[in-house]
Amino acid sequence: MKTFLWMATAGVLALASCQEKPSYTVNGTIADVADGEMVYLQNFVDGNMVNLDSAVVKGGAFQFKGEADTIAQSRYVSYPAKGISSPIFLEAGTITLDLNNELSKVAGTVCNDAYQKFIEEFYAVNKEMRALYEQAQNDSLSDEQRKEAENQLNVKDSLSREIVYNTISSNITNVAGVQLLTRFSSMFDADRIQPLVEQIPASLNSVEGVDQLKEHLASLAKTAVGQKYIDFTMNTPEGEAVKLSDFIAKNKYTLIDFWASWCGPCRAEMPNVVKAYNKYKAKGFGIVGVSLDRDSEAWKKAIKDLNITWPQMSDLKAWDCEGAKLYAVRAIPATVLVDQEGTIIARDLRGDDIAAKLNELLK
């Protein structure tokens, strides 16, 4: 009898769990849209929006219902006719969404509330930054006024970064925080990002970009100042295979310069690199250029146009460059300074900092 009662109770509980799966309801509103128009629930896959569900607009309202999302990422509610789209987290509960073309508002669950608070603060600061940038470009301003506008712009930029960081930090155990971390991690140094990554729950490791971020941080740690450089092989512009080590051993100090012909900031920075090379090459300073180009002819032309006379290497894979991955390079220009024993002594030297560091080392 007791066995039967236990089995019956277990069966009822199992049935209840099947029948009462966590679900969401999205109650949406949209202005100035005729009855009968369609709003879509979508997913972003391989650069394209894919429809998951649709709803008919009636009296400026629409509704989606379904099982709470088990995939750890945001979805989108879109009205393609006017190019309006808003991210939304399909958490269990009732979610409200005011869909509009300026700043949509979503609320009702933990991740949606957190994301909405973030986007409102971030949007407000960036609106101020755009105004300050336009002000700084005004030709009628005096040098003093322009400098003041630029200073204010820097202050707002710092505030914007802290809004991002604080939102991530306070939401790192939910999908919204982790998704923002993968999106904005490049804004921060590794020592600020690493503690956040360590707090990500195991259940959220499937969020898109988490694995790549962990790999990036591991590569940064392996190529940080004080570590030994990592050797790799690529081809010269003439197609000859060469190793990074071929050059490191020849110089007292070698600058590994990651750049590309298509990179505007790289081209703007190159005169500083040329100047430093010409000044210090007789004292044992060398450079190895690692190009993130894909077009070999464009690469060769840029070498000539920019007066680059030091060795060059590339696998012509652009952002899939194996050397860039080894050194955790996600933005160019980027530099790594290595001594003759192979120890990394500086990273990301630019402008006058290159010459200043060499002057200190090669007195």
User: What's at 255, amino acid-wise?
Assistant: L
Task: Give me the pLDDT at residue 14, please.
Answer: 38
Cα-trace Rg, the chain: 27
Phi and psi, residue 346, nearest 5°? -165, 155
Compute the Cα dihedral for 50, 53, 56, 59 and give only its sign.
negative
In CATH, which of 2.60.40.10, 3.40.30.10, 3.90.25.10, 3.40.50.300 is domain 233-361? 3.40.30.10
Structure tokens at 76: 């989108």
Task: Give me the pLDDT at residue 27, please.
Answer: 97
Q: Find all residues with CB under 8 Å of 109, minimum gap 6, and list them.
A: 24, 89, 91, 92, 93, 95
CATH 3.30.565.10 fits 2-108, yes or no: no
Q: Find all residues with CB under 8 Å of 126, minimum gap 6, and list them.
A: 160
d(CA 261, CA 24): 49
pTM: 0.76
d(CA 82, CA 346): 50
Compute the Cα dihedral for 270, 276, 278, 282 and give only its sign.
negative
Which sequence spans correspond to the domains of the chain? 2-108, 111-221, 233-361
Q: pLDDT tens track of the chain, all 363 residues?
A: 343 333 333 433 333 334 457 899 999 999 999 999 999 999 988 888 899 999 999 999 999 999 887 666 789 999 999 999 999 999 999 999 999 988 899 999 999 999 999 999 999 998 888 888 888 788 888 888 888 888 888 898 899 999 999 999 999 999 999 999 999 998 888 889 999 999 999 989 888 899 999 999 999 999 999 999 999 999 999 999 999 999 998 999 999 999 999 999 999 999 999 999 999 999 999 999 999 999 999 999 999 999 999 999 999 999 999 999 999 998 999 999 999 999 999 999 988 899 999 999 987
How many helices and strands in the chain, by DSSP H and E? 11, 15
Q: At what angle do helices 175-184 and 143-170 cross, to 10 degrees?
A: 140
